[in-house]
């Protein structure tokens, strides 16, 4: 099954954060506070997915208040931080939402993401993902993490589901 056919059935999209929703850089202030930069166009892509009825989740190995703030800003209810076994966490979420692995897409960029990604119906990596990750996924974006990769993945899924045009047209009617 090709990536477009896989994307057509997605009901839950799971994202790693560092290297996917951000460029992977870790920035600290002098007093030890962590800063991350998120792409506003990625944010709109996430909102479009929500409007299309796709559940969103964040599953990340690191723990950061910045991630909680961004998730709250976007209305992402399913946020799991400090996760070592991402596949187990996604499996629990799938059960909670009464879904199945083929209904799930996972976007990640490094080794820790692979066990969950390879179980999902659609595995997507940003252009800056580790080469061994990119070799094993169904789709690789042209854009890098934090630089439009999330938006590109969102539009790929929405196009495959025949929903992007209607979502776009709604903006023209405002």
Give the residues across from 122 on adjacent strands: 105
CA distance 38 to 25: 11
Average pLDDT of the residues of the chain: 96
pLDDT attached to residue 143:
98
Task: Dump strand ranges (E) for 29-163.
Answer: 34-35, 55-59, 78-80, 104-107, 122-125, 139-140
**pLDDT at residue 171, as a whole number:** 85
HEC per residue, 22-42: CCCCCEECCCCCEECCCCHHH
What is the domain count for the chain? 1
- Provide the domain limits for residue 101: 3-172
- What does the chain come to in residues? 174
pLDDT score of 84: 96
Using 70 as the pLDDT threshold, list the residues of the chain that sit under it. Answer: 174
Give pLDDT, residue 173. 81
Alpha carbons 89 and 154: distance in angstroms, whole number = 22
Alpha-carbon span 88 to 168, nearest angstrom? 35
**pLDDT the model gives residue 172:** 86
pLDDT of residue 17: 98
Tell if the pTM clears 0.85, that is, is over it.
yes
CATH number at residue 74: 3.40.50.1000
- pLDDT at position 77 is 96
The answer to whether 46 and 154 are in contact (CB under 8 A) is: yes
């Amino acid at each position: 099954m090709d990536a477009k056919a896989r994307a057509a059935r997605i009901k839950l999209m799971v994202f790693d954060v560092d290297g996917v929703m951000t460029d992977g850089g870790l920035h600290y202030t002098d007093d030890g506070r962590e800063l991350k930069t998120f792409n506003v166009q990625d944010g709109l892509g996430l909102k479009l997915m929500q409007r299309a009825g796709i559940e969103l989740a964040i599953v990340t190995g690191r723990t950061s208040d910045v991630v909680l703030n961004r998730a709250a800003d976007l209305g992402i209810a399913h946020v799991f931080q400090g996760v070592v076994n991402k596949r187990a966490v996604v499996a629990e979420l799938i059960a909670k939402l009464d879904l199945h692995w083929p209904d799930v897409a996972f976007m990640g960029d490094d080794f820790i993401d692979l066990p969950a990604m390879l179980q999902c119906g659609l595995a997507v990596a940003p252009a800056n993902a580790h080469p061994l990750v990119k070799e094993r996924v169904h789709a690789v974006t042209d854009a890098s993490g934090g630089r439009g990769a999330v938006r590109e993945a969102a539009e790929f899924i929405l196009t495959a589901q025949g929903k992007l045009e209607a979502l776009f047209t709604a903006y023209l009617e405002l």
